[in-house]
Amino acid sequence: MQTAEITRRFLAHFAASGHTVVPSAPLPAVNDPNLLFVNAGMVQFVPYFLGQVTPPYARATSVQKCLRTPDIDEVGRTSRHGTFFQMTGNFSFGDYFKAQAIPMAWDLLTQPVAAGGFGLDPDRLWVTVYLEDDEAADIWNRTVGVPVERIVRRGMADNFWSMGIPGPCGPSSEIYVDRGPDYGREGGPAVDEDRYLELWNLVFMQYERGPGEGKEGYPILGDLPARNIDTGMGLERVAAYLQGVDNLYEIDEVRPILTRAAELTGKRYGAHSGHAATSSHPDDVRLRVIADHVRTALMLVSDGVTPSNEGRGYVLRRILRRAIRAVRLSGFEDPALPELLPVARDAMAGSYPEVAQRFERIADVTYAEEETFRSTLKQGATILDTALSDTRREGGVQLAAREAFLLHDTYGFPIDLTLEIAAEQGLTVDEPGFRALMAEQRRRTRADAQARKTGHADRAVFRGVLDQHGPTDWLAYTTLETDSSVLALVREGQPTAYAGVGDLITVVLDRTPFYAESGGQEADAGVLTASDVAAEVVDVQRLFGRLVVHQVRVLDGDLHVGQAVHAAVDAEWRLGARQAHSGTHVLHAALRQVLGPTALQSGSYNRPGYLRLDFGWRGALAPETRGEVEDVANLAVRADLHVTAEVMPLVRAKEIGALALFGEAYGEDVRVVEIGGEWSRELCGGTHVEGSAQIGPLAVVGESSVGAGLRRIEAHVGVEAFRYLARERDLVHRLAGLFHARPDEVGDRVEATVAQLRQAEKEVAALRANLLATRAGAATPTDVDGTAYLGLRAPEGTSTAEVRALAQRLRDQLAPERPGVVAVTASSQGRGSLVVAVNAAARAGGVAADDLVRRVLAGKGGGGPDLAQGGGVPGDRVADLLTAVEHQLAS
């Protein structure tokens, strides 16, 4: 049974029993400060379980895309570990509990295939329950009919579930299938979890947990507002069992990638073991890494993640580079992703059609990252060769841990390659020291993560306000002013009754006209006033999706809880923000019109008068293309296209082609903003103008790269665009005056002047080089242990390029049959540099220019054996460098 068919049957089974089918949330966990990625099927429903948001349905079912990376280094070493996986689940929000959840799961697993089930043999199924959960054990035995001997009671570490952070939790019951004696020992899940494969975990979500490490070291804070059901059936595990294969690497959505990787590398999966799934041979491990990571990268980029050096982007970069490294170590040197990603796309498109629709962008991002990493490998190999040479020259046999860690952490050079290359040169690596440095880095990372994990606790006071007073009456779309009441004041996470002049305080109002920062749009500015109070609003945020909180600075008087205030948005600020946000939509539509539909927005920021938009594209925009985009946008402004905003079901929004921002999570109902109807139709919660003419002129002021396959375009709108263009006009008129030319002639005059200056610079450089050579010609080499050594100091201000050319010229003038070394120094602006050139006879005798430079400059500098350079020394030490080179030759 194919994976897509398993998904279809699962959703149909629960839809038939009244569950709402909910689409998977994107992999980035955008609504939870504790998580980088969704790591469980219930993550998107956490606010419902906690009672923070009223669920729009009493029961739901979904197939959720998940990602777990804590065990990333174990991927491939076993057949059980993977990064991307899919969790099918059914959920009840106070509607039903154990008595209904347990039979529904059993029925789907055991119903015949012809009847829509999975057709599992009931006699091969085992279940586990929490040690103290007599109710679940009784339902399994008396209602479902599972014999007592196949019901196993286990402790909190095995059968009590949470996300690993503060939040909802509860006892669980797991369903296992016995795969037979070929897979291990008899005796049930407590004896052997390889033979007894876990398929489904039914969590009876009824408690809220606090902070704590491990699966048992946390307190239970109390009951949730309702008793809920959260189940998770591992799709890959069920697919493996139903498809008669051993593990997730051999199912229909993964095996084609592994097979293609084997073809590229010339390896045969399982060739070194009678059982490929249990093989730990490096070839099999690498093939599993490639298959898992290529699929994971496909899904991450599809959901809007791009490679970077932090956060989610770093995880993607690491996954991609591990895959590329594994391909290289398997013997395939050419770019591999163009061969592997299309296979992953075809394998996953049956379940996720969007990976095919978005593939052009996915390919741009990932192929560019591979090119970057291949360059990194070349650079890292050069640095490593230098470090290994230094180690050998100093009589060492082991590369220091700090060198290996620097290569890994700064240059992205994998430790496996460091070990391999060092071994080829007869050296070892201080691997324990490297692991210790990595452990220290992980410790710091965990400390940063722990700081994020306090998110729920830090907001507890605001949750109390929400529970007591209900959601904020948010009126930002309809008015700029409201008469409001102060519900709460919060200082440094603690409630307070008063705030005085100079205090920076968080204020919760019963109603507000202020727009809370969201969707790239900055929060409104404005004031809170009363008869004897004035406070400046400096920031506005939304918590739990329903509570708006204002950070204010008290300017006059005292604020206190229960006080009546007048809340007023700065009208000019709001107008500028509306112009910028609508301008972002117009610019996005213009980009897509000029570049094509793959130029999709992946992020934006707008404030009054200014906007920036990140979009998927490979390569800089040509000036004429940039100009065309600006023209299309301004034509849309001139046309005064009608702007509308309508709330509708997400399904309807997708049907009419509304664009959604990559990586964002959306609810059942969404707000669709249109500019000129279908010309620009996007999901957006921001504030907008009524007609595009209100945006004013739009002036593109910059376009740059912000990552592989990702560009950023910046623009001014409205009055700020007028001011920018006025500054450009004034500059042109100033240049016209200097050149005594008309404004339209300035460009040609500047080009001609620049060309003349460059020609003059070349002539001056040639004259300086001839003068230097003439002066140097009078110098005679010194004999240093049979080597002709010529050391010279160039005049102040001589460029490094000129020094390098002089060194090469003088070296070539030395007698070729005799070893010769030339060293030239120069100083400029208080800093000195050194260039060393070595002829062929000296190189044959073991003298290398790069070696000399590094020894003289304490490891700094670079180049090759024939020519090398370095710098950064104080200018008053330049003369000492020549003597130092001579001493090195004599030693």
Binding residue positions for Zn(2+): 581, 585, 684, 688
User: What phi, psi does 301 have (nearest 5°)?
Assistant: -70, -35
* DSSP conformation class of 786: T
Is residue 781 a contact partner of residue 751, using CB atoms and an 8 Å limit? Answer: no
Tell me the CB-side half-sphere exposure of residue 210, using CA atoms within 13 A: 8
Question: Which residue, 118, 122, 151, 351, is CA-closest to 241?
Answer: 118
Task: Report the C-alpha gap between 249 and 256 in whole angstroms.
Answer: 9
Q: Which residues pair with 716 in a beta bridge?
A: 610, 699
Tokens 């909802």 belong to 168
Q: Can you name the residues that pair with 825 across neighbouring β-strands?
A: 793, 834
Buried-state track 222-241, b at ≥16 Cβ within 10 A, e below 16:
eebebbbbbbbbbbbbbbbb
Task: Using the structure block, give the residue that is written with the tokens 């001011």.
Answer: 723
Which residues, in sequence order, are CB contacts of 424 under 8 Å at separation 6+? none
Q: In what order do the strands lie in the sheet with 820-828?
A: 782-784, 787-793, 820-828, 831-838, 867-874, 862-863
Residue 445: exposure state from Cβ atoms within 10 A (0-12, 13-18, ≥19) = exposed
> Which backbone phi and psi does 303 adopt, to 5 degrees?
-90, 15
State whether the Cα torsion 611-612-617-619 is positive or negative.
positive
307 touches 708 (CB < 8 A)? yes
Question: For the chain, how big is the Rg over CA atoms in Å?
Answer: 34
Cα dihedral 251, 252, 257, 262 in deg (nearest 10): 60
Treating both helix axes as pointing N-terminal to C-terminal, what angle do 359-393 and 401-411 enclose, rounded to 10 degrees? 160
Q: How far apart are CA 869 and CA 863, in angstroms?
A: 6
Q: What letter does residue 848 receive in the DSSP assignment?
A: -
Q: Which residues of 7-30 are buried (b: 16+ CB within 10 A; e: fewer)?
A: bebbbebbeeeebbebebbbbbbb
423 CB contacts (<8 Å, ≥6 apart)? Answer: none
Residues 497 and 495: their CA atoms lie apart, in Å, by: 7
Helix (H) or strand (E) holding 278: none
- CB-based contacts of 417, cutoff 8 Å, min separation 6: 325, 328, 329, 377, 380, 381
The residues, any chain, with a CB within 8 Å of residue 774's CB and separated by 6 or more, are none
Contact 522, 561 (CB under 8 A): no
Q: What tokens does 461 get? A: 């006071």
Q: Give the annotated binding-site residues.
A: 581, 585, 684, 688
Asked if 27 contacts 67 with a C-beta cutoff of 8 angstroms, the reply is yes
Which residues are within 8 A (CB) of 704 and not within 5 positions of it... i.e. 6 or more apart?
620, 711, 712
User: What is the C-alpha separation between 311 and 321, in angstroms, rounded?
Assistant: 16
Decide: 85 and 239 in contact? Cβ < 8 Å. no
Structure tokens at 346: 């075809």
